[in-house]
Amino acid sequence: MKQAPFSSEKDDEYSSAYYKEGLVFCSNRRTDLFVTFSTPEDKELFNMFYVPIQGDSLGKAPAILSVELMTNFNDGPACFGANDSIILFSRNNEVNSKKRDTKDDRNKLGIFTSHLIGTVWNEPKAFEYNSKNHHITMPSLSKDGSQLFFVSDMSGGFGGLDIYMCEKVNNTWSKPINLGNEINTKGNESFPFISASGELFFASNGHKGLGGLDIFSSIKKNGKWQKILPIKAPINSEFDDFGLITDCNFESGYFSSNRKGNDDIYEFRTKFPQFSNCDTLKENQYCFLFYDEYYTPLDTLNTYYEWVFGDGMKIKGKEAEHCYEGPGNYEVELNIIDKRTGEVFLQQTKYEFELLDFEQAYISCVDESLSMHPIKFEASKTNLPTVDIANYYWDFGDGFLDEGIDVNHYYNREGDYKVILGILSEKDSLGCRKKICVEKTITINDNPTALIPMNLEDSNLQRNISSTGESFIGQQQINETSFRKSKLVQLPSNGISTMKAFSLVFFESFEKEKQFAKEYEEMYEDFEHDLNSNPAKALALKSHLNSRRKSNAKMHLIEKELQALSSQFQCSYIEAETQTMSDSATPILNRLLKILLTNPLIELKIGVHISKANSGNFDIAGKATQLIADYLVERGVDTVRLRTAVYETTFEEAGMKGDMNRLEFKVIKE
């Protein structure tokens, strides 16, 4: 960064704009064209000057942009459109008087437009929203000329000066729209510049910065301006910094600052691009529950179901959990196998299963490490098939930066650090690059002993497993033998494709918890052993355990809430024969709906347990579960996330008393 060569030591220069092969800027340097009036500080009023580019740098001989556009008042700032054949600039609404009273604020600023005819600018025309009651100034035109940004103190804003925007519709500017409180504050927002890539830069003294006016930026996603990003030093300083313009990649540009006393224009080049509003890293999912919703009568004595997953793996059963090693196209089959011959008796289903990674930049690193310990950061798993990547940039969150697909870094002190991986594409036909970024938080500790995981007996994984083979969860006792007597009843689909539940879900899930607890104990022993001899391995293990524990704790809370909703929901709320539901069910189902919408990976079983004495009510119970599923689907839940089931249960054997017909909501998997 350096002061532009045309900036003088004694005069003021500010608010530059790209024009032809150079810059147009505002300055109060003296001209000999005609006399303009001075301010009370004995300074000249501002005119618009043009300076051409000489080679790779700007020339040092600025000249008045246009005699036709000069007035006896302040002229500028300006912007240009239509291949530099249109100028939009700011000046006072009334410029016909021969003398200006500098204390008179009744002559408001407005925006005026002029067209270049040959080599001469024609008579400027006033912007249709200029007003005698408030200022309209500092225009910035989008690359395609469809949007005009400007500054105004019109009523209805958030503070002193706000930024507004108009859109061109049928060659007419729409009514000005305030950019909202994402951009505007109770302070002053000014000097907007919309870059060729659509990024908005502006100055503000209302947002938190380094002091005075600071420069900020924001981009618009899905119709909303994103969280603003302060431009880093040395562009921003404790002084007034404003009027930034840049190319579409923020690789070079100009800005104004009074850090040396006068307003001067500085030119800059960025060696490291800034990335803002980054996506949070999403972990790819390779494990799935495979099921088939259609019922086929099966002779279990002579046949069985078998899944073929297209990656060399097979699993017996109508439903099966399977994990793939990575993305790809897999041909999945569910076959009915003849036990005697081992051959396929009937192919139940067959389809192509395409497994894709999220399209994103991807950070591969540990979740937790020690200070002063090298950490490897990798971007090799980045999946951006439509982006021709030019380079990878790393911001480690501690003030250090690096670039490259694989880098190493260590932290000096403990804390949580937000790591950002930014990616720039190659330039397109207009010279612009795509910017993509993703962020991930890692934890750094000073003391290795602080990383010892919680004792197993203190974790959410604690379970009491008795030597009698009975499992205790909370105060509920379930005997393995009696639980396995639950009978699954397959129901007709009623025209809606829903998944059908399989029996023993609760017990199987519990068996997995016991296995995890066992793994945890074994890994905990490894952790204690490796803590001193191999800290890196111990930390990687700790990161893995923490990740699994956090997921388990979250699921524990969700399952607890679902249990509460199950106990509150009464079967009497539903009249299955008439397909109606009482108003009493609505609050419970809306809470259930919120759980599903805020946890999009959860799949839910809606089950009804009926006693043998009521076994004739299978169809009614099935309609009841379907009615609840319909309610959720109509409000945005994907049908493939819902499974319905009716169970014939010997409640007495399971030690359960009370109502023999009860409904339950239970997580199948997340």
pLDDT in tens, 560-610: 888 888 888 887 787 766 778 888 888 899 889 988 888 887 888 888 877
pLDDT in tens, 403-457: 999 999 999 999 999 999 999 999 998 889 999 999 999 999 887 655 544 433 3
Report yes or no on 470 lying in a domain. yes
Do residues 251 and 219 both lie within one domain? yes
Q: Which CATH number do you get for residue 637?
A: 3.30.1330.60
pLDDT of 460: 35
The phi and psi torsions of 637 (rounded to 5 degrees) equal -85, 130
Report yes or no on 8 lying in a domain. no
Do residues 196 and 232 both lie within one domain? yes
Contacts 24+ apart (CB under 8 A), 532-535: 532/448, 535/370, 535/373, 535/448
Do residues 343 and 211 both lie within one domain? no
Do residues 162 and 239 both lie within one domain? yes
Q: Pairing relation of β-strands 642-649 and 603-611? A: parallel
**DSSP structure string for 69-99:** T--SS-EEEEEEETTTTEEEEEEES----SS
607 and 646 in contact (C-beta within 8 Å)? yes
Q: How many domains does the chain have?
A: 4
* Residue where a domain stops, chosen among 250, 276, 302: 276
Q: Which CATH number do you get for residue 430?
A: 2.60.40.10
Do residues 483 and 625 both lie within one domain? yes
* Residue where a domain stops, chosen among 446, 476, 508: 446
Do residues 261 and 310 both lie within one domain? no
Report yes or no on 507 lying in a domain. yes
Positive or negative: CA dihedral 2, 195, 212, 101: positive
pLDDT of 29: 86
Report yes or no on 505 lying in a domain. yes
pLDDT of 670: 44
Positive or negative: CA dihedral 565, 571, 572, 578: positive
Do residues 373 and 338 both lie within one domain? no
Report yes or no on 483 lying in a domain. yes
444 and 410 in contact (C-beta within 8 Å)? no
- 585-598 and 618-633 helices cross at what angle (nearest 10)? 60
* Residue where a domain stops, chosen among 241, 276, 311: 276
Do residues 372 and 475 both lie within one domain? no
Percent of the chain with pLDDT over 70: 76
Do residues 388 and 420 both lie within one domain? yes
Percent of the chain with pLDDT over 90: 41
Q: Is the pLDDT of residue 651 over 80?
A: no
pLDDT in tens, 398-412: 989 999 999 999 999
CA–CA gap between residue 471 and residue 666 (Å, rounded): 18
CA–CA gap between residue 307 and residue 322 (Å, rounded): 10
Instruction: Report DSSP state, residue 373.
Output: -
How many C-beta atoms lie closer than 10 Å to residue 32's C-beta? 6
CA–CA gap between residue 75 and residue 97 (Å, rounded): 15
pLDDT of 462: 33
Report yes or no on 299 lying in a domain. yes
CA–CA gap between residue 362 and residue 281 (Å, rounded): 7
Q: Residue 96 — very low, low, confident or very high, per pLDDT cuts 50/70/90?
A: confident
**DSSP structure string for 106-128:** -S-EEEEEEEEETTEE---EE-T
Please give the residue range of the domain that contains residue 156.
Answer: 77-276
Do residues 163 and 117 both lie within one domain? yes
Q: Is the pLDDT of residue 351 over 70?
A: yes
Report yes or no on 178 lying in a domain. yes
Do residues 372 and 225 both lie within one domain? no
Do residues 336 and 380 both lie within one domain? no
pLDDT in tens, 303-327: 999 999 999 999 988 888 888 888 8
Residue with tokens 């290795």: 448
13 and 7 in contact (C-beta within 8 Å)? yes
Report yes or no on 27 lying in a domain. no
667 and 620 in contact (C-beta within 8 Å)? no
CA–CA gap between residue 666 and residue 426 (Å, rounded): 49
pTM: 0.60
Mean predicted confidence (pLDDT) in 28-42: 60
pLDDT in tens, 482-540: 222 222 222 233 322 222 222 222 223 334 444 544 555 555 555 555 545 555 555 55
pLDDT of 155: 92
